[in-house]
Structure 1
């Protein structure tokens, strides 16, 4: 029975990878997702990161830009494929989530539902660690494809949130 479940899980992952490889969002899809994400206001969050958590303004603004692009990818790919942030992006996302009312409103505006955060992704066993690595590589590939630059080197050099 366990072998069947593992096989089905593997087939499901293969289907998602295949879907990601064949799905080509239109320019209009990217533009519309960007328009929605650009309606979000991170002024209070950014001020908190600078005033109370010691982030430099340049770091906050650069991370906000990357976070917006990461949200665009979630919108465009309809949350059907796993995307993984790097450590700095993950920290920024955490601060967004902490403002629970605003986060829920923002998710409803952009996605029509809640964008869940699973903080244990990649931490439980070797299989999920590989899933995290694959999701992070997929995220990097999609950043290059849609935004013309890699996720690494923009926010920090940490490979993914597994670098905690």
Structure 2
């Protein structure tokens, strides 16, 4: 699994700008060069959801975890389209979204464990999801039939979401 961290500290990230940039993003076929799984539309949905989660994480200088190997491979393909990727990052986040492999020290977190990073991914999703929108990231690899799928068990997602609800209703 892989993570990201911001390239600069404490710069604002506008949620509406991120949403618009992700919605308008045209993914070239080269994005899927190392991501052979079908249907590509489902992988593209996962990648777009991931990129949306990156917005609030960057705004809070947080590192989130990548819950899908298929999305990770598509993200790698996108990163290799260097000009398009850099332009997208500038448009969406106002800065470059760096890639940090699992286990690598990041500028903000040192050596953070993957369980914490994945928890923050669920938190980030709760901030960007439209009402009733299904997140495909949690079980995408299983849906696609990947050997050794990544993901977050449904019970863990529900547990994190319940904690968020409890905290939201505290005085």
- The aligned counterpart of 1:88 is 70
The total of aligned residue pairs comes to: 124
2:111 to 128, 131, 146: 128
Task: Give the TM-score of the pair, scaled to structure 1.
Answer: 0.61
User: What's the RMSD between the two structures over aligned residues?
Assistant: 2.9
Structure 2 stretches lacking a partner, 5+ long: 1-13, 143-148, 153-171
CA shift for structure 1 position 93:
0.9
- The aligned counterpart of 1:43 is 28
Rounded to whole Å, the distance in 2 between the matches of 1:144 and 1:106 is 23
CA shift for structure 1 position 56:
4.0
CA shift for structure 1 position 78:
3.2
Answer 1 or 2: higher relative contact order, Cα 8 Å, separation at least 6: 2
Deviating 4+ runs (over 6 angstroms): none
- The aligned counterpart of 2:41 is 61
Structure 1 stretches lacking a partner, 5+ long: 1-28
Deviations 1:27-50 (A, max 9, x none): xx644421121111103335xx2x
1:115 to 83, 91, 97: 97
Rounded to whole Å, the distance in 2 between the matches of 1:134 and 1:152 is 15
* CA contact 1:45–1:95 (8 Å) conserved in 2: yes
Rounded to whole Å, the distance in 2 between the matches of 1:78 and 1:54 is 25
Per the alignment, do residues 77 and 141 of structure 1 end up closer, same or farther by CA in structure 2, a change over 3 Å counting? closer
Task: Name whichever structure is richer in strand by fraction.
Answer: 2
Task: Give the TM-score of the pair, scaled to structure 2.
Answer: 0.59
